[in-house]
């Protein structure tokens, strides 16, 4: 058994396989997952686990160079947007696409990790970075 880090074998494998600029998504309970994209479903009930808890856990184990969220988060869920800016820095959080464009972009991710989050627009796409020069 692992001593540290993410215990979920599916998430651990996805993170280990990521290369520079690869994408993964962390989603609320309602985000549709495109056909052919791997879904790792962590949802137990509404609110559990929370989007924030999953983002924090993934961010502790992944080199992230960019975060993409939908423009609708500004009005629909400003608390979650502020959390993302506080966690990743304003320069690293791109709020530049619509929710519809965000859903299309999920077709390019390696996996969607589904949380139990039940607040609007609590979704992000994380772009992998590298931890060397």
Which residues are known to be catalytic? 20
DSSP string spanning 10-44? HHHHHHHH--TT-EEEEE-TT----TTSEEEE--S
| Alpha carbons 108 and 84: distance in angstroms, whole number | 21
Numbered residues of the known binding site for substrate: 28, 99, 121-123
Rounded distance, CA 51 to CA 95, Å?
A: 17
The secondary structure element, H or E, covering residue 47 is none
For 62, list phi and psi in degrees, rounded to 5.
-130, 140
- Taking a C-beta distance cutoff of 8 angstroms, is the pair 62, 18 a contact? yes
Extract the annotated binding site: 28, 99, 121-123
Counting Cα atoms < 13 Å in the Cβ hemisphere of 35 gives 0
């Amino acid at each position: 058994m692992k001593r540290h880090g993410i215990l979920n074998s599916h998430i651990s494998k996805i993170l280990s396989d990521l290369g520079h600029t690869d994408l993964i998504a962390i989603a609320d309970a309602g985000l549709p997952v495109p056909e052919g994209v791997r879904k790792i479903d962590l949802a137990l009930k509404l609110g559990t686990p929370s989007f924030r808890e999953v983002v924090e856990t993934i961010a502790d184990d992944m080199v992230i160079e960019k975060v993409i969220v939908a423009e609708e988060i500004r009005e629909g869920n400003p608390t979650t947007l502020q959390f993302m800016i506080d966690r990743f820095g304003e320069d690293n959080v791109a709020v530049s696409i619509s929710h519809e464009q965000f859903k299309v972009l999920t077709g390019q991710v390696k996996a969607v990790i589904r949380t139990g989050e039940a607040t609007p627009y609590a979704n992000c796409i994380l772009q992998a970075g590298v931890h060397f020069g």
